[in-house]
Chains A and B, each alone.
Chain A
Amino acid sequence: MSGPSQTPVIELHAVTKVYGKGGAAMQALRGIDLRIESGEFVAVMGPSGSGKSTCLNILGCLDTPSSGTYRFQGVEVGALTSEQRARLRRYYLGFVFQGYNLLNRTSALENVELPLIYRGLSIAKRQALAQQALQAVGLKGWEQHTPGELSGGQQQRVAIARAIVSEPAVLFADEPTGNLDTSHSHEIMELISELNRTRGLTIVMVTHELEMAAYAHRVVNFLDGRVHTDQQNKVAV
């Protein structure tokens, strides 16, 4: 998946999203056009209510657009069944959330193994891959600790390990540093940048902190359900 290719990884065209019906209808997205090439590191910014999270959910195949088209690696997502979208998430997408979203009372290793269970891998293979992923995020030796025994930064590392263990094409991160203090935030951002640099992993990250957006190559600004600005990040380039 590394290097630019003919078809962009992500291509949105005139995507809208409406919640509710009739008079109470709320238009979250009012026509989004967006192309993201393989290997890009994109930060999505904007005030709350600007539609950035809605957009990320659609990109992550957790939600479907009300109108418009979304092509993932050239495939029209709107035409897929919910099971086909689940398959897309299973094999091509990785998620990191603001609240980590790890399973409680479950060891770091088992948390990271989770996506591989749904891929039907053997226990030995799962454990080997999960250990590699934990090592990649700098958590070697913490395999048997449960989320309750880990710091916020460490929990987010476990979440990142879980997202990359299945070697996805795109990593979606929704405010990955929202719950962390500054020094831990930078550690996480370093880790994400490194994954982008060394593995060529495409990254789409929602954040409202400029400081974190600065790690990205490209910053897309949302306002009132539309793309307000879309520019290459001069600091990073």
Chain B
Amino acid sequence: MWWNVFMLALRSIRRNVLRSFLTVLGIIIGVMAVITMVSLGQGATLQVTQQIASLGSNMLMIRSGQRGGPGQTAVAPPLTLAIAEAIGRDIPAIAAVAPSSSAAIKAVFANANWSTVVSGVDQRYFVVRNWPLSAGRVFNEGELRAGKAVCLIGNTLRDKLFGAQDPLGSKLRLKKLSCEVIGLLQAKGQTAFGSDQDDLVLMPLRTFQRRIAGNRDIGLIQVSVQDGVATDKVEQDIKRLLRERRHILPGEEDDFRVMDMKEITSMLTGTTQVLTGLLGAVAAVSLLVGGIGIMNIMLVSVTERTREIGIRLAIGAFERDVLMQFLVEAVVLSSLGGVLGIALALAASAGLASLLRVPFVFNIGIVILAFLFSAAVGVIFGYFPARKAARLDPIEALRHE
């Protein structure tokens, strides 16, 4: 019986190929939009998570001043190397502490120049950031202690200044300092905030303080926490230590900030997830519209086939046979639209993902959900026309021309 009903539905769909196609176009577009939006959104979320992971996991960042942005740190006293050492010495469960200081400076090589960020760091920076080299070497103890004019450069800067040339051994000019390139950092790509991580120069902290900044300030202390330790606890310890060292009275506000990468991660992925949800919901509206299209055509079809319904009722079809016939037809139509929509969505999201440089996430859950939803649309919007057909008076239906 079910097979018969199914075949009957297929035959009636085949009888009007163009109309059937136009009818399910709404469903096709709806399903395609939902799946594409959701998988692109999930791709974006994944990308954000990956990018933040590339900054280093389990990381806390300490800056002086309450708000970020240029010029805001002036009021609060700067961080110092002594504070960084105290954190590393006094607070348990810390893997590494990396003090650093940076400035935006124009780098010049031969007749090329490029505005970049120059940071003074020591060897612990590479541990905290988990950042390997693609060529050359890191600073040695002697260079760090003596503040030698040596530097490592990021991949973007190499492209801008050296092109295809080998930068190792070349002299880079930063302000009045001429410094030798001894290593090349591996490319990391953009951060989740959209800045290029590879556009930088690293030099020994002492070199930076003496020859670029002209002071002994520390701009940023990055702390990596041991695996499996809650960052909240470490964050509290650091805050207590800083308040003590910077003589902040109880009740006074902190004049420094401790940022947890995990918080930033969850904030950013939260944002993309909300956006994904919103886009998916908007796309779902088009599924609804598609359903109304199906209802419309099924109503037309019922009117067109009134006599057929009359014949079927006269030769002994139950009302529910007729109901099932039209309901199955609507469901087959909408499911067909669902399948086509899924196929197109997979192609579209794979294409768009590579175009937008977002990882392509295949989510079987949303595919199944979209299919079930499209079938449900068939049931819901097919039911009314089907009931109309089933309730026809056989005598009236037979007389219908």
Contacts and interface: CB of A to CB of B under 8 A. Distances in A.
B4 interface: yes
B206 interface: no
A91 interface: yes
Interface stretch (A4-12, A33-41, A80-88): A80-88
User: Chain A: interface residue count, which band?
Assistant: 20 to 34
A82 B318 CA distance: 8
A115 B315 contact: yes
B316 A115 contact: yes
Contacts of A162: 315
Q: State the majority secondary structure of interface residues on B.
A: helix
A224 interface: no
B311 A101 contact: yes
Contacts of B394: 62
A26 interface: no
Most buried by B among A86, A91, A114: A86
A71 interface: no
Nearest to B313: A86
A162 to B, nearest CB: 7
A120 B5 CA distance: 11
Nearest to A110: B11
Interface in A109-168: 114-115, 117-120, 162, 166
Contacts of B264: none
Contacts of B315: 89-90, 95, 114-115, 118, 162
A233 B106 CA distance: 119
A16 to B, nearest CB: 17
Interface in B298-327: 307-308, 310-321
Nearest to A83: B318
B1 interface: yes
15 contacts: A60-B314, A62-B314, A62-B395, A63-B395, A83-B320, A86-B313, A90-B316, A102-B311, A103-B311, A115-B315, A118-B312, A118-B321, A120-B1, A162-B315, A166-B316
Interface of B: 1, 4, 15, 307-308, 310-321, 394-395, 398
Given A90-B316, A118-B312, A120-B1, 14 more contacts: A62-B313, A62-B398, A82-B319, A86-B313, A86-B316, A89-B314, A91-B316, A97-B398, A101-B311, A102-B311, A115-B316, A118-B317, A118-B318, A118-B321
A-B complex: 10 closest residue pairs judged by Cβ atoms: A90-B316, A89-B316, A115-B315, A86-B318, A101-B311, A62-B394, A118-B316, A62-B395, A118-B317, A95-B314
